[in-house]
Structure formats: C-alpha cells, structure tokens
Amino acid sequence: MRKSRISQSKQDRLIEHFIAGTTARTAASLVGVHRNSAAFYFHRLREVIAYELEAESEAMFGGEIEVDESYFGGRQKGKRGRGAAGKIPVFGLLKRGGKVYTRVIPDAAGKTLVPIIERKVTPDSIVYSDSWRGYNALDVSSFKHFRINHSELFAEGRHHINGIENFWNQAKRHMRKFNGVPREHFALYLKECEWRFNTPDPKRQLTMLRQWVRKNMG
C-alpha cells in the first residue's frame, strides 16, 4: 500500500482514535487534519485489518460452534430471504470460548451457508443453529447439529446461539455511529467488527494495528 502523507505523529493519534471508535469527522478535528484525509486513513486501516484477517481465514473451528445469519442496513424491517429487501445478508460462525468468523453472503440459502460451514468447521464438531431451513442439510452431515426454535424459546441448556447473536448486536451498535455505511465498503466494516470482537482489549488492538500499519503502510 502507498505510504501515507500524514505525519507519523498524527497517524499515531488517528490510530488511537480509530481504536477508541471515534468517527473520522471527530478524529479529524481533534488531530488537526482534513476530514477527508482522516476518512481515507480510517478506510485504509480497515483495509489493513481485512487483509490480515484474510491471511488467517483458513484456520478451522472445532468444538461447539454457533452459526447464524443476519441482515444489515436497509430501511425495510424484513424477514429472511425475500423479506430482507435492501439489506445486506451476512453469515457468522462463533466458536464458544473462542473467535467469530464472518462474511458477506449473496443469500441465506442452504447452498450458500452449508459449504461455508463445511470449509470452516472441523468434522464431528457440535453445531448450533436456529430453525432456518437453510441449515437442513446439517442434519445429515458430519456434524452434530442442534437447533433452537426461536418461536418457542431462545435457549435450552447449551442449545442456543446467544454468542453469535451478541456479536451481531455489538456489530450493529458499532456501525450505527457512522450514520450509514457505504454498501461498497460494508465488508471492511464487518471485518473491523470481527477483529474488535476477537481482540477485545484496546491496548492489544492498538499494538496489533500499529504493527500492521508499519508492515503494510510503512
């Protein structure tokens, strides 16, 4: 990536504001750079995060895995599939006690979801989902599949997907502060949320991001 023209001291301050969740407009005012420069720098930070996460994407999850799809953006409060018009469908897997993995998907059909699970989750793992028909094929797969019917209850002992749903809530809360995320950049924001969730300590986030910036933007 091309080296930034912003001074090193101001880059360091922008990275700190990025970690703190400050918007680019506010960070620009506090650091003393043009708001377009701050917005572009934040965009590049998200590109770096996505690039580094992609390098780790081949790692598989094993054990107890929660899977779920969600929808972001759009003005219509819709249901899955056709009811989600105008929204961006995303899919996520969460290893209990571990990390989350996300990706933007074209739809929530079984032919889309199941191959992702098969590539990302080790055989004989326990997979928890809700009752969406897109997960039907998991019933005859190499996984131990348990469903939770949200029309009846949200948890039954260890049968729940509360962890991945908590991630969706955190991601949507983080994105709301931007008053709209450009659709063409949404995947970068999603990966940022994934990284923040997987690395919850701000000091660790700061150390990692500084290292990645030196590696990719230095």
User: Per-residue pLDDT tens for 24-45?
Assistant: 999 999 999 999 999 999 999 9
Distances in whole angstroms, Cα of residue 168 to Cα of each of 9, 90, 132, 165: 34, 10, 17, 5
Q: How far apart are the first and last CA of the chain?
A: 8
Give residue limits of the domains in the chain.
8-55+200-217, 64-169
Distances in whole angstroms, Cα of residue 86 to Cα of each of 76, 78, 102, 178: 7, 9, 20, 18
Is the pLDDT at 58 greater than 80, yes or no?
yes
User: Per-residue pLDDT tens for 158-207?
Assistant: 889 999 999 999 999 999 998 889 999 999 999 999 999 999 999 999 99
C-beta neighbour count of 191 within 10 angstroms: 22
What letters, b where the CB count within 10 A reaches 16 and e where it falls short, cover 28-53? beebebeeebbbebbebbbbbbbebb
User: Per-residue pLDDT tens for 121-172?
Assistant: 999 999 999 999 999 999 988 999 999 886 666 667 788 999 999 999 999 9
How much is the mean pLDDT over the chain? 91
Backbone dihedral angles phi then psi of residue 66, each to the nearest 5 degrees: -100, 135
pLDDT given for residue 159 in this prediction: 85
Is the pLDDT at 117 greater than 90, yes or no?
yes
- Residue 14: helix, strand or coil by DSSP? helix
Lowest-pLDDT range of 9-18, 41-50, 68-77, 140-149: 68-77
Give the H or E element holding residue 84. Answer: none
Range 64-169: architecture per CATH: 2-Layer Sandwich (3.30)
Q: Which residue has the tokens 């939770």?
A: 148
Cα separation of 68 and 101, whole Å? 11
Backbone dihedral angles phi then psi of residue 161, each to the nearest 5 degrees: -130, 40
pLDDT band at 82 (very low <50, low <70, confident <90, very high): very low
Beta-carbon contacts of 212 under 8 Å, excluding residues fewer than 6 positions away, are 48, 49, 52
SS3 content of the chain, % helix, strand, coil (to 5): 50, 15, 30
Cα separation of 5 and 184, whole Å? 25
Quick one: which of 158, 128, 125, 130 has its CA closest to 142?
125
